[in-house]
A and B are shown apart, each in its own frame.
Chain A
Amino acid sequence: MTVNTAKPAPLKEKSFAQRLLSDFQKHKYKYLLILPIIIYLILFCYKPMYGLVIAFKNYRPTRGIWDSKWVGFMWFETFFKDPYFWRLLRNTFTISGLTILFGFPAPILLALLLNEVHNNKFKRTVQTITYMPYFISLVVTCSLIKIYTMENGLFPAIMSIFGMQRQNLLANPSYFYTIYILSDIWQGIGWNSIIYLAALSGIDQEQYEAAKIDGANRFQQVLHITLPGLLPTITILFILRMGNILNVGYEKILLLYNPSTYEVADVLSTYTYRMGLENQQYSLSTAVGLFNTMVNVVFLLITNYISNKTTESGLF
């Protein structure tokens, strides 16, 4: 009689494929639902990544991506050596930074203020009016801005009442950021506040009652209940925004700038547009775009890290 001395085999851990299969069988329909998104991501986000190699090639459309000549980092060098490189970088960070500094808190403030309004009719009217600019085409917005800022336009007229010299505001580099940021806030404040208003409605009303009993006034309630309640939403939106730090909308700048404000308004995206689509330098503009993305990723990671450390909430 032989004794089986071998130990019983340990319960084999299921492989990834097996787990996926059983998970799939359990949640078929959820997988079906997510399928379009996966296809979208593959087609529009992952497949085009292959095209990035043209940043390292002297791309000629006829030769195709693969048969164009390799040039290594030549286009990056060309870009870094461009006399405008530092200016583009500086302007991009400035415009983006200012937009975050002033444009990011604006909808939060609006949402907080709207939340304190108890007259429903008034609240809705304000909401509707603040949404509206979001639906105006950018081209129209910008031509309005141009007309209002002409020498004899509305804003210089108002400024002249306060003793300032009448001038074309868009021709003066020192006003460019103000015009850009203010119009940005005007256009986006209502729309961007929606998500905060939604988050606000999710805060437990009992907390306010408890706070009232403890004698907290309205401001203290906002500070200790509303804001902490909004914080996760704010954090996530902020991290996402930081991941876009170098993405400044080029359409608006293209519509608003002119040679006298290039000094402060020319940014990476307008440069890419000029080089890629106007001068047909596909490789150079891809290199700039790639550089742009790398910086964005770094900022996203840094912000996420800081956020994880300090507020314990982050994207990943």
Chain B
Amino acid sequence: MKKLLSLALALCLVLAAVPGFAAELLSAGDTYPLNSDKTVTWYVQENMGPHEKFVNWTESPFHTGLNANLGVNVEWKFPTTGTTPAVYTNTLMADPRTLPNIMTGYFMDQANLLLEDEVIWDLTPYIQEYAPAYYAFLQTNPAYDKALKTDDGKYYAFGFFREDGGWNDTYLGPVVRKDWLDECNLEVPTTISEFENVIRVFNEKYGAKFSFAMSLFQFNGLAGAFGAYGTSNAGWSWFVKDGKVGLGQVQPEFRNYLKWLNMLWDEGLMDQDVLTLDDTSIKGKVHNDQVGISVTSMGQMNNWNNERIAKGQEAVWVGIPYPKADDGSLSSVMGGFGIGSYTGVITKTADEETMKLCLQMLDYAYTQEGFLYFNYGTEGTSWTMGENGVPQFTELVTADTDTEPMRKYNGMTYGGTGIQATNLLYLKNAPAAIEANNTWFYNFEDEQQNLAVTGGWRWPVGVTFTVDEMDMINIYGGSIGTYVTESFTAFLTGTMDIEDDATWEKYLKDAETYNLSKILSIRQACYDRYLAR
């Protein structure tokens, strides 16, 4: 009964947030189109690129439509197909004189360096005048404003925000085959012991194993049930607890988590292929009854179900809550506060006039009109306003059989410089996936407690290192990521004995040769400055 109640409560919370609060809050901004005869180059690292069906952006309704709405001749640039997007951006950055005027990518870490070296514009003197909608939006929430400034209060970027404030930052979590669960007369597991029991029963009855694509498990996995933070990805293991920055993988709780994983591995309950599995190769196992319980994303779970339906089978995959410790505690799940680290900056290749124009262009996504365009495309073409005042996609999108057809018309399906409407996520995903996201996100009834578990433990988005700190991290911090990731696998597979105290001690001691304390103190100083903003 209590569970039902909390679920209902959760649903209410989400639904309450849906009817376009952002659109109401947003101001009108400048008058568009801007009717400029300038040509502006705009580079997009990922997410906001043209749909795969299009040869290039000139065929993409979103990009050509945006050019028309802005009234500016935008020349869009994207990484060449086949390259790693982040690496492509880095190669561009190597020659600042030829950068596109607007760059969208991950620039927060280096903000100070880019400002000091005058690669990007300091927008502080101009933002209020030329990006009024964006500026007004930042002022609606102190957390937004804080994240999008440097320590000395400089504005330098346009950010990505989720209207839901973090709900969809928890876009992955544990999933289970509901039909097997029913066949075995098992309840949905809520604690880690029950979770383990499901793995065992499925293994006994169906020969299935606990399996997952490492790329999705590596963020936080099931660490929360052990009071731990982070899994194999070092980037995700810098956590904050009571104002102290720490590295998740050297905590005693993390050792307990590793012991559990290693036990599963040793007893043959965990798939030995997890180290090499990706989202594509795991499907072979999913569709051959070799997996019954897993950790995956909303989108992938959607795919698994749809592929079953396409074969004439039932959709059986459902999301289940992140398992808690047996005493009901939970330290962390994958999550955030609805602020992305994906940002748009204006480079110095734009002269002052062009920079002002770029500000107006980037501001569009944060106006009422632009918010709708970035999320749904052109009204009357790809969407219409439903009776309840909520936008609905037209048949142009709903009848399209390509993957994620809305990406042809909008820019916020994954993220970019703008605000992602929660309604968009509702339209994009199947009800089962939405339901799954609810179970992953709403871990506690108490809102504050829930926020602490989902986003509160994370190294915050928008922290900026000083130029000296960046240098120090370059010199000393290069290999710690490799070290913890590698040790994680060694402990998992038993190459290093997790039960052996001496091995663990040595692991902790060795972390020092990779300058752990030095890096922690740099990060602590950086975090303290962020708090003081």
Contacts and interface: CB of A to CB of B under 8 A. Distances in A.
Contacts of B514: 83
B93 interface: yes
Contacts of A78: 475, 478
Interface stretch (B83-91, B125-133, B176-184, B500-508): B83-91
B490 to A, nearest CB: 7
A146 B490 contact: no
Given A83-B510, A149-B276, A171-B493, 12 more contacts: A61-B96, A61-B117, A61-B119, A62-B117, A62-B118, A62-B119, A150-B281, A170-B276, A171-B272, A259-B488, A278-B87, A279-B474
A155 B263 CA distance: 27
B93 A61 contact: yes
A57 B91 CA distance: 19
B475 A151 contact: no
Given A147-B281, A259-B232, A58 B471 contact: yes
Interface string A271-283: 0001101111110
B90 A277 contact: yes
Interface residues of B, number: 38
For this complex, into which size category does the number of interface residues on chain A fall?
Answer: 35 or more
A284 B483 contact: no
Nearest to A77: B475
B271 interface: yes
B479 interface: yes
Given A60-B117, A260-B490, A82 B478 contact: yes
Which residue, A62, A74, A275, has most C-beta atoms of chain B within 10 A?
Answer: A62
Contact of B272 (A168, A274, A279): A168
Interface in A257-274: 258-260, 262-263, 266, 274
Q: Which 10 A-B residue pairs are closest in the complex by CB-CB distance?
A: A62-B117, A259-B489, A260-B489, A171-B275, A277-B87, A168-B272, A259-B485, A262-B486, A168-B273, A259-B486
Nearest to B485: A259
A63 interface: yes
A171 B490 CA distance: 10
A31 B493 CA distance: 63
Contacts of B475: 74, 78
Interface string B66-103: 00000000000000000000110011011110000000
A84 interface: yes
B263 to A, nearest CB: 18
A296 interface: no
B276 A282 contact: no
B96 A168 contact: no
Which residue, A152, A263, A266, has most C-beta atoms of chain B within 10 A?
Answer: A152
A94 interface: no
Contacts of B488: 259
B513 interface: yes
A277 B88 CA distance: 8
Nearest to B474: A281
16 contacts: A58-B471, A62-B96, A62-B118, A78-B478, A83-B514, A84-B479, A146-B281, A258-B214, A259-B232, A259-B485, A260-B486, A260-B489, A279-B474, A279-B478, A280-B93, A281-B478
A284 B232 CA distance: 25
B482 interface: yes
A167 interface: yes
A260 B214 CA distance: 12
A263 B87 contact: no
A250 B510 CA distance: 27
Interface in A127-186: 146-147, 149-152, 167-168, 170-171, 173
B276 A284 contact: no
B272 A278 contact: no
Contacts of B86: 278
Interface of B: 86-87, 90-91, 93-96, 113, 117-119, 214, 232, 271-273, 275-276, 281, 290, 471, 474-475, 478-479, 482-483, 485-486, 488-490, 493, 495, 510, 513-514
Contacts of B214: 258
B51 to A, nearest CB: 22
Contact of A260 (B94, B117, B495, B510): B495
A267 B117 CA distance: 33
Nearest to B93: A61
Contacts of B495: 173, 260
B273 A84 contact: no
Nearest to B209: A151
Interface of A: 58, 60-63, 74, 78, 82-84, 146-147, 149-152, 167-168, 170-171, 173, 258-260, 262-263, 266, 274-275, 277-282, 284
A60 B113 CA distance: 9
Contacts of A170: 275-276
Contacts of A262: 482, 485-486
A303 to B, nearest CB: 32
B33 to A, nearest CB: 34
B36 to A, nearest CB: 28
A260 B483 CA distance: 11
Which residue, A149, A260, A284, has most C-beta atoms of chain B within 10 A?
Answer: A260
A78 B94 CA distance: 22
Contacts of B118: 62
Nearest to B482: A262
Which residue, B95, B214, B489, has most C-beta atoms of chain A within 10 A?
Answer: B489
A262 B486 CA distance: 7
A168 B478 contact: no
Given A61-B95, A284-B474, A83 B513 contact: yes
A179 B95 CA distance: 39
Contacts of A167: 272
B319 to A, nearest CB: 27
Contacts of A61: 93-96, 117, 119
Contacts of B275: 168, 170-171, 258-260
B276 A258 contact: yes
A278 B281 CA distance: 25
B149 to A, nearest CB: 22
Contacts of A74: 475
A260 B510 CA distance: 18
Contacts of A146: 276, 281
A82 B480 CA distance: 10
Contact of B483 (A83, A171, A173, A281): A83
Which residue, B90, B117, B514, has most C-beta atoms of chain A within 10 A?
Answer: B90
Given A151-B272, A259-B232, A63 B117 contact: yes
Contacts of A168: 272-273, 275-276
A280 B90 contact: yes
Contact of B94 (A63, A151, A258, A282): A282
B469 to A, nearest CB: 14
Which residue, A170, A259, A262, A266, has most C-beta atoms of chain B within 10 A?
Answer: A259
Nearest to B476: A78
A252 to B, nearest CB: 15
A234 B90 CA distance: 41
A306 to B, nearest CB: 36
Nearest to A283: B474
A171 B478 contact: no
A149 B276 CA distance: 10
Contacts of A60: 113, 117
A58 B468 CA distance: 12
A147 B280 CA distance: 11
A168 B270 CA distance: 12
Contacts of B479: 82-84
Nearest to A273: B87
Nearest to A279: B478
